[in-house]
Amino acid sequence: MGVAGSALPLAMNLLFIADIVGKPGREAAEAELRAARQDGTADFVIANCENAAGGFGVTPELARGLLDLGVDVLTSGNHIWDKREAYEYLEREQRLLRPANYPPGNPGRGSTVACAGGLRIAVINLQGRVFMAATDCPFRAADRLIRDLSGEADLIFVDFHAEATAEKVAFGWYVDGRVTAVVGTHTHVQTADARILPEGTAYLTDAGMTGAVDGVIGVRKELAIDRFLKQTPNRFEVATENVRCMGVRLEVDDASGRVTHIVPFDHPLK
């Protein structure tokens, strides 16, 4: 997590923006990034973009737009495969990640290393297996990636995209002391368990959602209710009421390279 002898800044402020859902989420993310630039509270920005295109996937144009706004690394999850036009972009854009534990042969990469303030920051994207599509083991994939990144990064941030709370909690304990932070995504509901684990890894089960919360996890509520009542397919549309940006801020100590503060946030779009 910190590399001995590396020149760390006084403090590294890392901003993670939770799952961006549709146009409302993109607008809220832009407002959050603008505010962070103005007050200097974000030295490095990670955002999950897997729902940026109408709630399902991301297009190259939308990914480029988020990167141009100041996002340093984009993570994703199971919906990254929803837009086939993104496949070729995944191959050539190192700042757009898909979960690393999808089987070999899929386009893209599951980790990257970027630099900010003299630090080498590794970002790893993994996906859970409980109530999710079949993938390779995220725990063993983490072992491999952490080993491969040894000596290559000063900080390691993990976006663990998973449905089951138990799987996320178990994963946090599994990598405690071996990565800087584990932040969960996918459920779109922010949890109240932000903490620093005993061996120094900052942990949050789910960072929430950047989008309209007066819906059902980003979808218009009447459409979601109709699906539950009738149990037949309908076309989901992105909700637009009460738009908020959720996520988490991490402050990293200059001497140890460990997180000293982990603070979830939930800001309305003004």
Q: Which residues are catalytic?
A: 79
Pairing of strands 181-185, 202-204: parallel
Report the C-alpha gap between 33 and 202 in whole angstroms: 22
Please state the three-class secondary structure of the chain as a single string: CCCCCCCCCCEEEEEEECEEEHHHHHHHHHHHHHHHHHHCCCCEEEEECCECCCCCCCCHHHHHHHHHHCCCEEECCHHHHCCCCHHHHHHHCCCECCCCCCCCCCCCCCEEEEEECCEEEEEEEEECCCCCCCCCCHHHHHHHHHHHHCCCCCEEEEEEECCCHHHHHHHHHHHCCCCCEEEEECCCCCCCCCEECCCCCEEECCCCEEEECCCECCECHHHHHHHHHHCCCCCCCECCCCEEEEEEEEEEECCCCCEEEEEEEEEECC
What phi and psi, each to the nearest 5 degrees, are found at residue 26? Answer: -65, -40
Report the C-alpha gap between 247 and 125 in whole angstroms: 16
